[in-house]
Amino acid sequence: MRIKRIMGEKGQVVIPRDLREMIGIKGGEKIVFEVVNNKITLEKEEDSKEFLKKFFSVSRTKEKDLTLEDMRRIEEESYDDIL
């Protein structure tokens, strides 16, 4: 999808409602801009609590979610082999 907008004198551009709804941006929320090869992308900043919740639910072992303690134990065990 391509949509054109005119940039205002202060460098502001309105993000169309349809696009805001597609990625779930609401007023007052933070968005992240990234520039790669002269192209700008933007995305909704993910809440760190939501990120961790998703991360731990995806990181499964023995049919259960990993806890922070599980992650610490795994990290410690991985360094034991090196030392």
- Residue 58 pLDDT: 62
Residues 11 and 37 placed together within one structural domain of the fold:
yes
30 and 6 in one domain?
A: yes
pTM surpassing 0.75? no
Confidence tier at 9 by pLDDT (50, 70, 90): very high
Residues 56 and 38 placed together within one structural domain of the fold: no
66, with CB counted inside 10 A (0-12, 13-18, 19+), is middle
C-beta of residue 33 within 8 angstroms of C-beta of residue 41: yes
Show the domain range for 32: 1-45
Same domain, 3 and 30: yes
- Residue 3 and residue 41 share a domain: yes
CB–CB of 20/26 below 8 Å? yes
Q: What are phi and psi of 23, to 5 degrees?
A: -105, 5
Domain tally, the chain: 2
